[in-house]
Structure 1
Amino acid sequence: MAKLDQAVKLRRATWHLWTFTASKLISSFGAQVYTFAISFYILQLTGSAASFAMNLICSILPRTLAAPFAGYAADRWPRKPIVIGAQVLTVAALGGLLGVSLLAGLSLPAIYATTVVLSLASTFSGVTFSSAVTSLVDEERIQKAMSLNQMSMSIAAIGAPAAGGLLYGTVPMNLFLLLYMAASLIALLLESTMNFRLFNRKAEAGGQEEEAAKEPLLRSMRSGLAYLKTQPVIMAVIWIALIVNFLFGAFQVGYSFILIEKLKIAPEHFGLTEGALAVGMLIMSIWLSVRKEVKRPLVVAKRGIIVMAFTMGGVALPLFIGLPYVAMVIFFGALMLVSGLSSGIVNTPIMVMMQKQVDDDFKGRVFAVLETMAMALMPLGTVLYGFLYDLFPAEWILLSSTIALIGAVLWLARPSVIRRAHPERTAPQTGAAAPVAQ
């Protein structure tokens, strides 16, 4: 009977694997088509970069502020109602904006308010899903689940702008809202079929879950931080995420600035080079989904970040060496392809490692801290680098940021941290004791 139960669980896990992927693909595609359309709408309506930036702030700031609460909710209450509730909130927000559009026409306050609600719903859904992966699929297929998740987002990143570009200007904005609503409803139906307690280790822990559910918000957050202090490897990963996202502001701001303003790359060719990034991530996701699990994820991620740093510095190369126009487009396309490949080899193995190492009782709070740390300095980095690019030569900003990023990752993922993360891989082959991490 036990074997039969395990076989049933594995079949359910296979269903979860593909349902999870389909749900993410549909919802991500709908969200990105909507984002593409609403961004163009705001720019055409106002002609103001400030209005466009305000919509970005309405997306980033709520995610940063709400992530700790989303993590607390994911650890305290059943995760399925949170995910379903977030999707219902998404459908309701889009329905509200559609109603406003039909009755009075779209306005900036209505768009900003909808962006805030969608951002909050996405935060609760994303953090809860991240903390529930090990409850949805068996341990052997965690890497496949994370790879398929990344694959679905990469496909959406490639296809959504093309679909949005074809539709925008030929169909009314209300149709974009209806498409996103339909995608969210399909995702809602798929997620409602999933069993978020299929491989639930919390249930096996007996009364631990009930005790955790009684913990108040502030005490729960303090206990989550206390848990992190006992996990130096996870703390190193969180600090790496913080530093990488901050310093990569040089790339995010500088790439568009250099290609469009300095090198005068045509918009359609610029779009092709950016699409190469998503293609690289897609290729890496497919490869990771079919290969065996990465054995030393922190080592692989360390090398991947160093490659990403070199691609960031490589953006400055045409400013030093004159290249023909076609060669420049090919060069930047190849550079973005490599960046996408290295980004995929960083994100997926690290997420698999965290899924396996973080205790189920703290997953929501840990992933919330990771989300907050990853997002917290992005607005600051964007503003700071935007200011620096107006004052200093772009090539020296990129090169100095590249050196800083390589130095930071070499320190944060130094050998002592690697030994803590992978002691079984660094232990001597003789009978002598393994080295103790410093």
Structure 2
Amino acid sequence: MLLVLQMSGSVLYSGITFFFLTLASAMAFLIAPFANYVTYKGGLIGSELLKSLLLVTIPLFYFTIGLNVFYVMMLLLIVALISQFSYPIESTIMPIIVGKENIVKANSYMQTIREGMSIVFVAGAGILVVVIGPVQAILITAICHLLSSLTYVFFTFQQESAPTEKQSINLLVQTYKIDLRAGIDYMKESLIPKMIVSIVFINFAMGVMIPNMPAFALIKGNGNEALYGFYLASLSLGIMIGALLAPRIKQYGFGMLTIVSFSFTGFLWMGAAVLPAIPSILFFCIGAISIGIINILMFSSIQQQVESAFIGRVLTVLTSAASIGMPFGSLVGGFIGESFTAIVPVFLCGIAMIIFSVSWLSNTLLRKLPKIDEVKLFPARDVDESIQYEKSV
């Protein structure tokens, strides 16, 4: 996004770029079911290798025939779509490896490692961009995806059902439709659809803010590009702290925990919008803690309560529905940032967090949700019914 901002000089183009990136999440329900037709190992190796090959074309074209901003935007959309293919595979593998009884701790540890490395590498990338430029930094990203694909070669994953070796196109499409429908049916009569409206709203607000972060960081840092990396690192630090706290505070009621934490986030991000750089980064970091907490608890609850054969499909449908607000928020955020200043969208996102908390507070069902281990997200199915349902699919 910083590269697009530099090439176009427009916050609006950054908003359009983020629209493409988040549109991929909204389209996940069309892509992710195809992950059922490959082996876990093959799917992960192939997706990482393909992302590496695509990203390396950015520095290649930049140093040869020239780089077009629209090419960068479309390429990032394709890379994001590939990530939607590998995401359900990663989600399915975790409970298989650690067991469902350990999934909250495992997700917390993984999120801590992921965000901890992001703090170091993203902050370092902010400095690296100043020294060598964003195009060269993207080359490093392409190399990392290549190394990731090579690393997966050494893994062996237990797979409950191997994909069919050969299928006709018609049979493949029919099976795909059945898998997609299975994920939707599995969520019927559950609590998740009742939460989706609120999640769409909060994602819309995040979409308004995030594409403005490169320009926002330049304003706060008086043109210093490194500050963008520091803001991203502070976001990762906050999420990491939230991931560390999640197993320790999961005994509190999920409803009130969500209400209180996101209301604090709202006030903190409003402060981050108007304060100078150092306190702004601090407030931005603390405000992100709630995101880490709620993400871990909600994600772990789904992994605990859904049969492994359905985890990928349920998460795909849920993610697609929840993500629909973010692409449109990014377009609105681009227009707001272009028309006024990048500070305004960040402030508006803080207000939206408070509105989100108030909406949960006014809803009796959401407000009184018990601790996450006692929240029944999906209807209970006895073992025989689950086996019969899975065979029919």
Gaps of 5+ in 1: 1-38, 204-211, 425-438
Deviation at residue 156 of structure 1 after TM alignment: 4.4
* Contact in 2 for aligned 1:301/1:349 (Cα 8 Å): no
Find the counterpart in structure 1 of residue 287 from structure 2.
339
TM-score by structure 1 length?
Answer: 0.67
Match of 1:196 among 157, 178, 189: 157
Deviation at residue 115 of structure 1 after TM alignment: 1.3
**1:168 aligned counterpart, secondary structure:** helix
Q: Structure 1 residues 301 and 335, CA, compared in 2 at 3 Å: closer, same or farther?
A: farther
TM-score by structure 2 length?
Answer: 0.74
Q: CA RMSD in A?
A: 4.1
**1:164 aligned counterpart, secondary structure:** helix
Find the counterpart in structure 1 of residue 243 from structure 2.
285
Provide, for residues 367-414 of structure 1, a one-character-per-residue CA deviation record: whole Å limited to 9, x for no partner. Answer: 1122212321012234446667979x9699668635531233232753
Find the counterpart in structure 2 of residue 217 from structure 1.
176
Q: What amino acid is aligned across from residue 263 of structure 2 in structure 1?
A: A
Find the counterpart in structure 2 of residue 13 from structure 1.
none
Match of 1:136 among 80, 97, 106: 97
Q: Structure 1 residues 238 and 195, CA, compared in 2 at 3 Å: closer, same or farther?
A: farther
Find the counterpart in structure 1 of residue 132 from structure 2.
171
Equivalences for residues 297-308 of structure 1 within 5 A: 299-300=253-254, 302-308=256-262
Deviation at residue 85 of structure 1 after TM alignment: 1.7
Find the counterpart in structure 2 of residue 350 from structure 1.
298
Distance 1:184 1:128 in 2: 17
Q: Structure 1 residues 314 and 251, CA, compared in 2 at 3 Å: closer, same or farther?
A: farther
**1:104 aligned counterpart, secondary structure:** coil
Deviation at residue 347 of structure 1 after TM alignment: 0.9
**2:158 aligned counterpart, secondary structure:** coil
Equivalences for residues 294-333 of structure 1 within 5 A: 294-295=250-251, 299-300=253-254, 302-316=256-270, 332-333=280-281
Deviation at residue 341 of structure 1 after TM alignment: 2.0
Find the counterpart in structure 2 of residue 41 from structure 1.
3
Q: Structure 1 residues 251 and 104, CA, compared in 2 at 3 Å: closer, same or farther?
A: closer
Larger RCO (CA within 8 A; separation ≥ 6): 2
Distance 2:60 2:212 in 1: 39
Find the counterpart in structure 2 of residue 414 from structure 1.
366
Deviation at residue 112 of structure 1 after TM alignment: 2.8
* Contact in 2 for aligned 1:87/1:188 (Cα 8 Å): yes
Q: Structure 1 residues 402 and 166, CA, compared in 2 at 3 Å: closer, same or farther?
A: closer
* Contact in 1 for aligned 2:255/2:369 (Cα 8 Å): no
Match of 2:313 among 359, 365, 373: 365
Q: Of the two, which has the highest radius of gyration? A: 1
Q: What amino acid is aligned across from residue 342 of structure 1 in structure 2?
A: S
Residue 405 in 1 paired to residue 359 in 2? no
Q: Structure 1 residues 96 and 423, CA, compared in 2 at 3 Å: closer, same or farther?
A: closer
* Contact in 1 for aligned 2:21/2:77 (Cα 8 Å): yes
* Contact in 1 for aligned 2:58/2:72 (Cα 8 Å): yes
Q: Structure 1 residues 312 and 258, CA, compared in 2 at 3 Å: closer, same or farther?
A: farther
Find the counterpart in structure 1 of residue 144 from structure 2.
183
Distance 1:253 1:172 in 2: 19
**1:119 aligned counterpart, secondary structure:** helix
Q: Structure 1 residues 148 and 267, CA, compared in 2 at 3 Å: closer, same or farther?
A: farther
Distance 2:98 2:261 in 1: 31
Q: Structure 1 residues 241 and 80, CA, compared in 2 at 3 Å: closer, same or farther?
A: farther
Q: Structure 1 residues 287 and 124, CA, compared in 2 at 3 Å: closer, same or farther?
A: same
Equivalences for residues 11-22 of structure 1 within 5 A: none
Gaps of 5+ in 2: 163-170, 377-393
Find the counterpart in structure 1 of residue 323 from structure 2.
375
Find the counterpart in structure 1 of residue 46 from structure 2.
85
Deviation at residue 134 of structure 1 after TM alignment: 1.3
Distance 1:255 1:98 in 2: 23
Match of 1:111 among 50, 72, 83: 72
Percent identity between the two aligned chains = 20
Residue 125 in 1 paired to residue 79 in 2? no
* Contact in 2 for aligned 1:308/1:342 (Cα 8 Å): yes
* Contact in 1 for aligned 2:272/2:283 (Cα 8 Å): no
Q: Structure 1 residues 153 and 137, CA, compared in 2 at 3 Å: closer, same or farther?
A: same
Provide, for residues 168-204 of structure 1, a one-character-per-residue CA deviation record: whole Å limited to 9, x for no partner. Answer: 3543666434422221122112223333326x4x68x
Equivalences for residues 21-32 of structure 1 within 5 A: none
Higher alpha-carbon deviation: 156-165 or 349-358: 156-165
Match of 1:70 among 17, 31, 36: 31
Distance 1:332 1:143 in 2: 31
Find the counterpart in structure 2 of residue 146 from structure 1.
107
Higher alpha-carbon deviation: 250-259 or 376-385: 250-259
Distance 2:104 2:68 in 1: 43
Q: Structure 1 residues 63 and 110, CA, compared in 2 at 3 Å: closer, same or farther?
A: same
Find the counterpart in structure 2 of residue 27 from structure 1.
none
Q: Structure 1 residues 192 and 237, CA, compared in 2 at 3 Å: closer, same or farther?
A: farther
Deviation at residue 52 of structure 1 after TM alignment: 3.0
